[in-house]
Structure 1
Amino acid sequence: MVDRQPFRNAVAIVGYGITKSRRHADVPVGSLAVETADQAIEDAGLTRAQIDGVATGTSMPAYGSARVLRAGHGFVDSGFLREHMALDTSWSYDDVSFPPALVRAVQAVASGAAHHVLVNRTLFNPAGRYNSFGRSAAAGAAQWTAPYGYVVGTSGIAMPYMEYQQRYGMRREHMAPLALRIRRNVQAVPEAYWHGTELTFDGYMNSRMISEPMCLFDNDIPVDGGGSFIVTTAERAADMPHAPVYITDWGLVQDTYRPAPGTLGSLDAMYEPTRVMAGKLWNRSGWKASDVRVPQFYDGFLPLVLWWMECLGFCGVGEAWQLVQGDRIDPKGDFPLLSGGGNLGWGRIHGIPHVLENYLQLSGRAGARQIDDATSGIATYSVPGYADATAILFSSDRSS
C-alpha cells in the first residue's frame, strides 16, 4: 500500500541562480549569496518584495587560520539575506546545509506559512591548509583516534571504502571511470570549478594519496560558491515563466549512528539506517529506483556515490562499482549518473549541483546536455546514514 503524503507535488522549484565556483572569490561570500538570490528571484519572474520566506544552509568549514565567525563573511544565514536584501518575511529557517533547508522550505510553502521562499546555500573557503589539525593533545574518545590521523572527513571515509574494496573485489582503478565521467560531464558547465580542465586515467591513478585508498580526486575541492532557488505552490508555479519542477517526496535519515570522533563509522553502520529510510521513501512515493531518470547522488567523497546507489536499491549491495564501468552512465546512456558534474566537478558547494541538475533537466532547461525523457529525478546529500543524510525525489509531472 502506498502511503502518499499531502505535500506530494504540492510545491515546485520555479527559478534558480548560481555563481561560478572559485577557490577564493574577490568578494565576500555574502555578496555571492545576494547575487545568486537576485538571479533566482528574477528567473522566477518575481521581485524582492514578493519573497516572504528564506531558508539557508549555514554550516561552515572548521579549518584554516582565517575562519571568520561573521555572517556574510564566513557563512550566510537567513538573517543576513533578510537584512541586506530588505526582505519582508513571515517565515525563515537556518539548517546545517542546503538539502535539509530545501525540505523545510517545501513544508513551509505547503503549510501556507509562506508563499515564495528563497533557499540559499553559499560556501566559504578560508585561507590556510584544509586538513590542518592545530591541537597538540586529544582528550576523551578522540585520544583513541586523532593521534592516528582520524581528524577529517577523508580519513573517516577511507576506512569503510577500504572495507568495501576488500569485501567486493573493487580496486582503485575501478573508481577511475566514474571520476573521469564526472570531469567530462562538467566540461558542459561553465560555472563549475573544473570546467576547462580535463582528467585522464593516468592523472587519476597517479594523483596524490590523501588517506589510503582515497586519492586527491576522490574528494571535492573547497571553493567559494553556491546557489539559490525559489519554491512556491504548484498553483502559483503554473503562471511563472519556466516549467515547474515538483518535489514529490523526500527521506531524512533519522536513526543515525554515532561513530568515534574523526571517523565516519563502518560500512554496515552507514547502510542500515539509510536502507530503512529508502524503504519508507519508495513506499510513500510509489516509485521504484528504476523509475528515476536523472540520478544525482552526492559525491563530496566519491565512494559515497556507490553507497547511495546500493542503499537506495539502484543495484545490489557490492554491485555499484561494476555498474559505473561502461557507457551506461554517460549523459546519453540509460543511467546518466551525475550528468551535472556533482561536487567533484563544481567543488564543495554541498548539495547545490545535484538539485540544480534535477531542476534544469526536468524543466527542459539543460540545453545541449538535455537528457531524453527527463521527467523524474533524485538528489541525495551527505554520508549515507549520517545525521543530515537526505534524499529528494523530483518530478516534472504533478500527477505522477
Structure 2
Amino acid sequence: MGRYLTRPLGLLTKDAVLTAIEDAGIRPEDVDGAATFPAYPEGPTDGTKFISMAWLVHNLGFDNVRWWAETQTGNVSTAIEQAAHALAHNRCNYAVVWRAMSFAAGGSYQPMHNDLEAQGNLAYTLPYGKASAIAEFAPAYMRYMKLYGAKREHLATLAVAQRKGANLNPNAHFRDTPLTFDEYMSARMIADPMCLFDCDIPVDGVAAIIMTTADRAKDLPNPPAYITGLGQSGIKKGIEPRSISGLVSGIGPRMFEQMEHTAETIGESLWSTSGLRPSDIDAAMLYDGWAPDVYFWLEGLGFCGKGEAFEFIQNGRMEIDGEFPINTFGGNLSEGRLHGMGHWVEAALQVQGRAGKRQIKKADHVAVASGLMNLGSGAILSKSPL
C-alpha cells in the first residue's frame, strides 16, 4: 500500500493473494472460490487500474475455481458476504477475497471538466461547484451537528486516535506521520464542516483474505476468526442504499436518512443472526470514507443512542487501550482507502491475536461493517463459534 507505487496493480494483487494463501497454510491449488468488488472508480484498464476475476484467475494460474462472484454494486463487504454464503452451501472449500485499488493523488469521484454536462439533478448542483463526493456528505454531517450539538472538536478525537493506530501499523500510509488536535483544528476546509483530515487517503494498494469453513479452519496454522453474525443493509421505499456511482449522479436530500437506515438494518441482522448484543462486542472496525461515518455506524448498530456518538468516543474510549477500540489500524483516514478491506483484515487480526503493537486487550467479539451509503454488509468475528 502506498502512493505513486511503481509496481503495477496486477503484481501487487498477485503479491497480496499469494501471501494470504501462504499465511493461511494452504496451497494455490486449494483455492476453488474467489470474489471481489473490482472496478469503480479506478478506470477501464484491467491489470493496471483494476483487477477483474478473469485477470486474477488467468495470471495466477488458478485451475480449480468452481465458484466466483464479481459484484459492481455495493462494496467489498458484499463480496465477503457472498463468499460466506458460498462456503455455507458447499459451493467451494477455500475462497480468496481481495480488493485492489489504484487511485492517483488528486483523483476525485467526480472531476471537474469545462465540458462536463450538468444533466438531470446535476443541473441544480454542478454549475455551483458541488461536484465531489465530500460535497454530498458535508450537509449530512452539518445536519448531525446542528441536531445534536456536536462540534468539530469532538470529531478531532476520532481522527487523532485513528492516526495513533496508523503509527503502529507498518502498512499504513501515515505510519510515520503523527497528527495532533491542533493540526486537525487548523486544517483547511474541503467542504464545510469537513476538513482535510476528515477525508480518506487515496492509495495504490491491495488486501486479500482467505475464507473457509469452520471445520477446515481448525486444522490450519493460525487461529480462525469465526463469522458468528452476518448482516446486510435493508431497502425500503424512499431510503434505498445507493451504489457508489450514485455519488456522481446526485444523491438528493435524504443521505442522512439513508446512512441511518443502512447502519440500523445491518445492526438488526447482526444481532438476530449472532444472538449477541452490542454490549458483548469488544471493538469495532467501521468504514470511514469520511470521519463522520463512524457516528452513524455507532448509533445505527446500537453501541450508543441516537445523537450520542460524538460524546461516546471521547475520554479515551475509542483508543487501542480504551473501553471500546475503534479502527485500531488507522482506518481509511490514516491507513488508506481500500473500500473497507482494511477494516475486515484488522478485525480478523484482532480476533486472531495477531495485530502486533495494535493488539487490544480483549477481542472475543469484534464487529466490522462497510458500505454505509451502498449495499453494505457487516459481520461479527469471534474467537470461537457460538
Common fold, TM-score beyond 0.5?
yes
Asked if 1:133 is matched to 2:94, the reply is no
Shift of 1:129: 4.1
Describe the shift of the 1:355–1:273 C-alpha distance in structure 2 as closer, same or farther (beyond 3 A): closer
The change in CA–CA distance for 1:56 and 1:272 in structure 2 (over 3 A counts) is closer
Q: Secondary structure at the match of 1:194?
A: coil
State which of 99, 103, 106 in structure 2 corresponds to 1:121: 99
Give the SS at the match of 2:307.
coil
- For 1:92, the equivalent position in structure 2 comes to 68
Give the equivalent residue in structure 1 for 2:361: 372
Query: 2:169 matched to 1:189?
Result: yes
Distance 1:137 1:227 in 2: 36
Q: Counterpart of 2:51?
A: 76
Q: Is the 8 A contact 2:105 2:202 kept in 1?
A: no
Contact kept, 8 Å, 2:230 with 2:269, in 1: the verdict is no
Tell whether 2:131 aligns with 1:151. Answer: yes
1:227-260 superposed Cα distances (whole Å, 9 cap, x missing partner)? 0111111111111010011111221113125689
2:219 is aligned, of 232, 239, 256, to: 239
Distance 1:207 1:324 in 2: 21
Distance 1:49 1:266 in 2: 44
Q: Does 1:199 align with 2:179?
A: yes
CA contact (8 A) 1:309 1:320 kept: yes
Q: Cα RMSD over matched residues?
A: 1.7
Q: Which runs of 5+ in 1 are unaligned?
A: 1-20
User: 1:273 Cα shift?
Assistant: 4.6
Of 162, 167, 177 in structure 1, the residue corresponding to residue 142 of structure 2 is 162
Read off the aligned partner of 2:50 and give its amino acid letter: F
SS in 2 for 1:70: coil
The 5 A counterparts of 1:221-300 are: 221-255=201-235, 256-257=240-241, 261-263=249-251, 265-300=254-289
The amino acid that maps onto 2:70 is D
Answer whether contact 2:38 2:70 (CA < 8 A) is retained.
yes
C-alpha displacement of 1:325: 1.7
Cα deviation for residue 34 of structure 1 reads 0.5
Is residue 382 from structure 1 mapped to residue 360 from structure 2 by the alignment?
A: no
CA contact (8 A) 2:13 2:100 kept: yes
Assess if the C-alpha contact under 8 Å between 2:3 and 2:105 holds in 1.
Answer: no
Task: Provide the rounded CA distance (Å) in 2 between the counterparts of 1:273 and 1:298.
Answer: 12
Structure 1 position 352 matched with structure 2 position 331: no
Distance in 2, Cα, partners of 1:328 & 1:94: 38
For residues 149 and 370 of structure 1, what CA distance do their matches in structure 2 show?
A: 43
The structure-2 alpha-carbon separation of the partners of 1:129 and 1:352, relative to structure 1 and needing over 3 Å to count, comes to closer
Q: SS of 2:7's equivalent? A: coil
TM-score normalised over the length of structure 2: 0.92
Distance across 1 between alignment mates of 2:357 and 2:197? 27
Change (3 A) 1:43 1:257: closer
Distance 2:327 2:105 in 1: 29
Deviation, structure 1 residue 23: 1.4
Share of identical aligned residues, percent?
A: 36
Distance 1:154 1:311 in 2: 21
1:12-59 Cα deviation digits (max 9, x unpaired): xxxxxxxxx211210211111110000001001111111111111113
Determine the structure 2 residue equivalent to 1:39.
19
Amino acid of the structure 2 residue aligned with 1:353: G
Query: 2 CA distance for matches of 1:167 and 1:253?
Result: 24
- Deviation, structure 1 residue 375: 0.9
Q: Match of 2:122?
A: 142
Q: Distance in 1 between matches of 2:326 and 2:205?
A: 23
**Superimposed CA distance per residue, residues 288-320 of structure 1 (whole angstroms, 9 cap, x where no aligned partner):** 111111211111100000110001111011100
Which residue in the other structure is 1:8 paired with? none
**Where does residue 155 of structure 2 map in the other structure?**
175
Alpha-carbon shift at residue 80 of structure 1 (Å): 1.0
Structure 2: gaps (5+ residues): none
Secondary structure class of the residue paired with 1:118: strand
Counterpart of 2:112, as a letter, is F
**d(CA) in 1 for partners of 2:60 and 2:272?**
41
Q: What amino acid maps onto 1:370 in structure 2?
A: Q
| Residue type of the alignment partner of 2:320 | P
Render the CA deviation track for 1:37-92: whole Å, top value 9, x for unaligned. 00001001111111111111113226xxxx4x121111012111100000011111
Distance 1:109 1:55 in 2: 12
Match of 1:18 in 2: none
Identify if the C-alpha distance between structure 1 residues 279 and 128 changes in structure 2 by more than 3 Å, giving closer, same or farther. Answer: closer
Greater shift after overlay, 355-364 or 149-158? 149-158
Matched, 1:332 2:311: no
Q: In the alignment, residue 180 of structure 1 is paired with which amino acid?
A: V
Which runs of 4 or more aligned residues in structure 1 lie more than 4 Å from their structure 2 counterparts after TM superposition? 257-260
1:124·1:223 contact (CA, 8 Å) conserved in 2? Answer: yes
Partner Cα separation in structure 2 for residue 200 and residue 387 of structure 1: 32
CA distance in structure 1 between the partners assigned to 2:106 and 2:213 by the alignment? 43
- TM-score, normalising length from structure 1? 0.89
- Aligned match of 1:11: none
Give the corresponding residue for 2:86: 108
Q: Is the 8 A contact 1:180 1:200 kept in 2?
A: yes
